[in-house]
Amino acid sequence: MMHVTTTIAEFRAARAALTGSLGLVPTMGFLHEGHLSLVRRARAENAFVAATIFVNPTQFGPSEDLARYPRDLPRDLALLQREGVDLVFAPTVAEMYPPGFSVSIDVGPVATPLEGAARPGHFRGVATVVCKLFNITAPQRAYFGQKDAQQTLVIRRMTTDLNLPVEIVICPTIREPDGLAMSSRNVYLQPEERRAATVLVRALREAQARFAAGERRGDMLRAAMHAVLNAEPLARPEYVSVADLTDLHELDQVTSGALASLAVRIGTTRLIDNCILDDDHHSQEVAR
């Protein structure tokens, strides 16, 4: 039986009764196959699996989509139950941020460019809530998606620098049949926007194809992605990046293992995607 908890005390009591490794999958809910792939990996690698469902207000900017972020707790719980999750933590905002709450975690340079620049305060909110969730749930391993590439770097940096005893496991991006990366936010897209939204993966495939064909100039790879985006009238690019995968500095000369990433607005929906460039023409990252 899956045990659903909403308070920290209740979760801790249930967790204390478990002997054997615990795998944690932190989410904001409205679950899709991307989330479930993390759960399955955690299920395969641990004696027990916990999932958290919490739309964390501190990682949303004042003009962002917190109020309309999609939620469906009953459906999420049914999906998690089916995947054999043992423990769920679905706290209220008041449980996580009681009056007087004031500490936050500044991860430093890796949290600064790209998403950090586009969404001031976002990674402060992410790092702080993930640290709290690690402290509450005490997992041996925690599972994150490559879909949020910079977030994985932020979490790894925080875990290392704060000596958190948690192994971070990164799982591949799960995509729709047409290549669109799965995201809870895809539900915002109107039918015409949904068709246009494939422009992100199309731009990444263009960069990957050019890289595999020998293009090594960062500005040419970024320009190739911009050209794909500019051909899509519904797409408004926010950034296009080809950066070093460890420190995210923009690359002049690109080598295998570089991170191509982008953020694009389609109507009122902000979407992100990325791939790791490699020499192989049959790259799995954004495979057709």
Residues identified as active-site: 35
Coil, strand, or helix at residue 129?
A: helix
183 is a contact residue toward ligand AMP (CB under 6 A): yes
To the nearest 5 percent, what fractions of the chain are helix, strand and coil?
Answer: 40, 20, 40
137 is a contact residue toward ligand AMP (CB under 6 A): no
Please name which of 183, 179, 174 lies closest in space to residue 37, comparing C-alpha atoms: 174
203 vs 254, beta carbon nearer ligand AMP: 203
Strands (E), the chain: 3-5, 22-27, 48-53, 87-89, 141-145, 167-171, 235-243, 259-266, 269-276
Give the integer Cα–Cα distance in Å for 150 and 132.
19
174 vs 263, beta carbon nearer ligand AMP: 174
* Number of chain positions touching ligand AMP (CB under 6 A): 17
184 vs 251, beta carbon nearer ligand AMP: 184
145 is a contact residue toward ligand AMP (CB under 6 A): yes
Q: Which residues contact 229 (CB under 8 A, 6 or more apart)?
A: 199, 203, 235, 237, 240, 262, 264
Give the integer Cα–Cα distance in Å for 151 and 179.
21
In the complex, the smallest distance separating the C-beta of residue 216 from ligand AMP, rounded to whole angstroms, is 28
261 is a contact residue toward ligand AMP (CB under 6 A): no
Interface residue with ligand AMP, options 46, 52, 184, 261 (CB under 6 A): 184
145 vs 237, beta carbon nearer ligand AMP: 145
43 is a contact residue toward ligand AMP (CB under 6 A): no
38 is a contact residue toward ligand AMP (CB under 6 A): yes
Q: What are phi and psi of 155, to 5 degrees?
A: -65, -40
221 vs 273, beta carbon nearer ligand AMP: 273
Give the integer Cα–Cα distance in Å for 188 and 176.
15
Q: Which residues contact 105 (CB under 8 A, 6 or more apart)?
A: 124, 127, 128, 131, 158, 162
Q: Name the one range near ligand AMP by CB under 6 A: 9-17, 103-111, 168-176, 278-286.
A: 168-176
Q: Name the one range near ligand AMP by CB under 6 A: 26-34, 86-94, 160-168, 280-288.
A: 26-34
Residues 146-165 that bind ligand AMP (CB under 6 A): 147-148
In the complex, the smallest distance separating the C-beta of residue 28 from ligand AMP, rounded to whole angstroms, is 4
The secondary structure of residue 181, as a DSSP letter, is: B
Note the residues at the interface with ligand AMP (CB under 6 A).
27-28, 34-35, 37-38, 144-145, 147-148, 171, 173-174, 181-184
